[in-house]
Amino acid sequence: MSEELFKRLPAIDKWLNSEIGTTLIAEFSRNEVSEVMRQHLIEVRDGIDNGLDELPDFYSPQYAALIRVDILRRRLPSFCKVINATGIIIHTNLGRAPLAEEAIEAISRVARGYSNLEMDLSSGQRGSRYRHVESLLCQLTGSEAALVVNNCAAAVILSLSTLAAHREVIVSRGELVEIGGSFRIPDIIKKSECRMVEVGTTNKTRISDYASALSSDSRVLLSVHPSNYKIIGFSEKATSRELADLSHQNELIFMQDLGSGTLVDMCASDSIAEQSVKKSIADGADIVTFSGDKLLGGPQSGIILGRSTLIDAIKNNPLLRGFRIDKLSLAALVATLRLYIPPNNPAERVPVLRMINEDVRIIDRRARNLLRQLKKIPGLSGSVVSDVSYGGGGVLPMTEIPTKVLHIEFANLGAGQLARILRESDPPLVARVNKGKLIIDPRTILSEDTNDVVRAFRQIVR
Ligand SMILES: *Cc1c(COP(=O)(O)O)cnc(C)c1O
């Protein structure tokens, strides 16, 4: 029986040269049509192996329509907008910070035409792209000088390789962490051609540990925000002030990699107690690095603050050209930073801060409204439950912001299956799955996306 079916499958050339083949090729390309046809044949063969006992009519206009839909789907760009229903506010896999309206407009203005990216308009001479942002950063943080690069990883490598190549970088064993993907502090120090000197222990490093490690080759005391990692309980670390004092007594540079630095003294909700960039500078850090697209709420970028002699040296490092920020990110960064200038209230204008600060009573109302709409879908049931949202993105990992979430069930589908179908809707909806439950946290859903959330659930019925 199945032998018979296999024999009746069309040969690819014959199918391509048939009437539906030629029509499709006229509309698309021979390559695309042939690839989709091949894919269909593979699926039909699979089907036969699994008990399919009747072939479709491969030469019918209905079948041509199926192939057409598949070709169009393959033509959609794979990189697209998604809806974040995970409640993780700075989600690296989902592109970190959504930008403020002002930043989006700035990108669009600069992208559409030419700009004075590297021209000093008063002299008509070549200027520096960094001057558009340096004084703004200094004004907002109290730093003497500033520089921006492609991301925070680049900021760290560029700073270390400029300031401490072939010299010693002293760092606590408690801070030799891996931060997402492939950013491991020991590897970064090595790649920057510095010699790493580890001090203290995993859980306790005192200022005396740093002091006793100093040598004539020491150049930088490095403190790294441990990001996704936290030691709870029996632990101790030196304060920024102590590290700065020790560095300066010994003519060393105190460098602090904050990762997710913030320009506000966190926040109305008090739920995230991050050290602000201003405090690092005030405590005496000579170099501070942080990301533009974490708590700052801007585009991908790495910000370096510090003393002007050091920043000047970094600006002269030939690696800077390899790490430089592009004009679109620069435009967005400047626009985002301007939202921090009083009397602007960044907590209202910067999406990341707005999400962190959104009152749980408002989230509760949004959750109930959403559930009311979703319950109209046949087969769907759900409830509103207290839970927590997460800062994400290397913000203190234990940071939990009280929230209200939806638990959704759908007929006999498992939570994993449900989540997968939602990820395949247009636009994709990314939910959280925990202990067999599908969880939707309205905190990270932009209000303009609510209808698309409902639509994503409706298409499950189909
Ligand atoms: C996130 C992070 C980085 C890397 O920042 P990117 O902008 O992703 O390059 C570096 N250091 C710390 C402490 C971080 O949290």
Q: Report pLDDT for 261.
A: 87
Please name which of 35, 176, 90, 63 lies closest in space to residue 350, comparing C-alpha atoms.
90
Residue 109: pLDDT band with limits 50, 70, 90: very high
Least confident of 134-143, 285-294, 300-309, 385-394: 385-394
Task: Say how many Å lie between the CA of residue 272 and the centre of ligand 1.
Answer: 18
232 or 193, which is more confident?
193
Nearest CA residue ID for atom 13, ligand 1: 259
Residues in the chain: 462
Q: What is the mean pLDDT of residues 387-404?
A: 82
Nearest residue to 173 (alpha-carbon basis) of 214, 204, 215, 145? 204
Helix 30-49 with 19-27: angle, nearest 10 deg:
130
Q: Answer whether the bond into residue 346 is a cis peptide, omega within 30°.
A: no
Pocket test for ligand 1, best of 177, 188, 227, 287 (most atoms within 8 A of CB): 227
Task: For residue 97, give both structure tokens.
Answer: 């910070």
- What number does the ligand 1 atom closest to the CA of 291 have? 7
Q: Evaluate: CB of 389 within 6 angstroms of ligand 1.
A: no
Average pLDDT of the segment spanning 185-189? 94
Structure token pair of residue 78: 């794979």
Q: What mean pLDDT value characterizes the chain? A: 93
257 CB under 6 A from ligand 1? yes
Domains observed in the chain:
2-75 (no CATH), 83-92+355-461 (3.90.1150.180), 101-349 (3.40.640.10)
Within 13 Å and on the Cβ side, how many CA atoms surround 304?
32
Query: Rounded to an integer, what distance in angstroms lies between the CA atom of residue 328 and that of residue 204?
Result: 43
Helix (H, G, I), strand (E, B) or coil at 237: strand
CB distance 302 to ligand 1 below 6 Å: yes
Q: What is the pTM of this model?
A: 0.91
CB 422 within 8 A of CB 398: no
Residue 304 in contact with ligand 1 by CB distance below 6 A: no
Q: Ligand 1 mean position to 50 CA, how many Å? A: 49
Spacing, Cα 231 to ligand 1 middle (Å) = 19
Q: Of 5-19, 137-151, 340-354, 388-402, which range is least confident?
A: 388-402
- 25 CA distance to ligand 1 middle (Å): 48
> Average pLDDT, stretch 92-115?
97
Distances in Å between the Cα of 65 and the Cα atoms of 6, 72, 458 are 23, 11, 24
Pairing of strands 125-126, 119-120: antiparallel
For residue 153, report the phi and psi dihedrals to the nearest 5 degrees. -60, -45
Burial of residue 329 (number of CB atoms within 10 Å: 0-12, 13-18, 19+): buried
Which residue lies with its CA nearest to atom 15 of ligand 1?
259
**Residue from 258, 281, 264 nearest 393 by CA:** 258
Is residue 268 scored above 50 in pLDDT?
Answer: no
d(CA 211, CA 208): 5
Pocket test for ligand 1, best of 177, 178, 184, 257 (most atoms within 8 A of CB): 257
Residue 270 is predicted with a pLDDT of 47
Task: Reduce the DSSP state of residue 252 to 3 states and report it.
Answer: coil
Residue nearest to atom 5 of ligand 1 (CA): 152
Does ligand 1 come within 6 angstroms of the Cβ of 391? no
Residue-wise pLDDT for 26-57, tens only, equals: 999 999 999 999 999 999 999 999 989 899 99
Burial class, 413, CB count within 10 angstroms (exposed 0-12 / middle 13-18 / buried 19+): middle
Mean predicted confidence (pLDDT) in 262-281: 71
